[in-house]
Amino acid sequence: MNQIASPNPAAVRAGASDGLGPAESLPEAAVSIRGLRKLYKATGKGESKLALTGIDLDIPRGSLFGLLGPNGAGKSTLINIMAGLVNKTDGTVRLWGNDIDTATRMARASIGIVPQELNIDPFFTPQELLDLQAGLYGVPKAERITAELLQAVGLADKAKAYARTLSGGMRRRLMVAKAMVHRPPILVLDEPTAGVDVELRQSLWAHVRELNAAGTTVLLTTHYLEEAEELCDRIAIINHGALVAHDTTDNLLSRLDNKTLTIRAEAPVATVPEALVRLGMERLGEDLLVLRYAPSQVKLSDVLAALGDAGIGIADLSTEETDLEDIFLQLTRGGA
């Protein structure tokens, strides 16, 4: 896919459709949230629900940021507040430096949302849909980038085909283009690959990387933890409406100090020698041993030496690192 032009932050900050405005410094945080609360008040016999308990969160400019959490954790509420679809109860939200309450127009122009649902009019062509969306954002015809966007998402040859004839994957890509018609510096992707095949998923993520490399700050939610681990430079995890983790991906992965070592012995092992039992090694089969250990406390060289001293030859060994799923489960265990 071709690269979409970088966003025009100056125009967004100025709220000017002609791209002119004061030469202001770019914000360090593309999204800045302080004390964000959302209380859904009880209706009828129902009970009130505190969906967000007081979120403080900064999403650095230019980052590819992952927002994770179990179903019902508050992710959609947070995104919908940013999009202007849900009214917050307390707190402040700034998008590209613009407060969503006091600079609503500029804040809305700063963000593009790709929702989970495919809300595309089937009787419009991709070209018509993008032109209509650009018009809704007040982008003059001379400044529209419809052809460029369609080329970037691999739909140039479908520009004049009715949207109802597009495959599900094509419609997903069209949704990304639709969110970018006004060149927002912030792009939010809400479960963009839910229910799509592996090939399309890889294609969409390649496109997201291109957008991020071009300067777009990307916020994505996903249930595919391995994707968040591979794609995102920073990750936040929400549970029960509270922020339970927020750090770089590398720092999060280093938070759990454990590895798993699996040994297949050259000959059957009747019992685990005492020296290996003290290290925590267990016997899983007649020739299979496993050790779950903290690298900060146990050296692999000591384990191998103990195996040698016990006369246990190694036919094969493997180690398994901590991954994001381990951290996610630890932080959200007992969640919704």
Q: What integer is the mean pLDDT of 121-135?
A: 94
Q: CATH 3.30.70 in the chain: give the residue spans.
A: 256-330
Strands 282-285 and 29-40, bridge-based pairing: unpaired
Q: What integer is the mean pLDDT of 104-111?
A: 93
Tell me the C-alpha distance between 222 and 206, whole Å.
15
Say whether pLDDT at 11 is over 70. Answer: no
Q: What integer is the mean pLDDT of 88-114?
A: 95
Say whether pLDDT at 18 is over 70. Answer: no
Buried b (16+ CB within 10 A) or exposed e, 13-28: bbbbeeeebeeeeebe
Tell me the C-alpha distance between 171 and 119, whole Å.
9
pLDDT digits (tens, 9 = 90+) for 308-334: 999 999 999 998 766 667 777 777 765
Angle at the Cα of 216 from the Cα atoms of 16 and 106, rounded to 5 degrees? 25
**Residues forming beta bridges with residue 265, ordered by sequence position:** 314
Q: What integer is the mean pLDDT of 145-160?
A: 91
Q: How many CB atoms lie within 10 A of CB 145?
A: 19
Say whether pLDDT at 336 is over 50. Answer: no
Note the CATH number of domain 9-250.
Answer: 3.40.50.300
Q: CATH 3.40.50.300 in the chain: give the residue spans.
A: 9-250
Say whether pLDDT at 200 is over 50. Answer: yes
- Cα torsion through 77, 14, 207, 55, rounded to 10: -30
CATH of 256-330, one of 3.10.450, 3.40.50, 1.10.3210, 3.30.70: 3.30.70
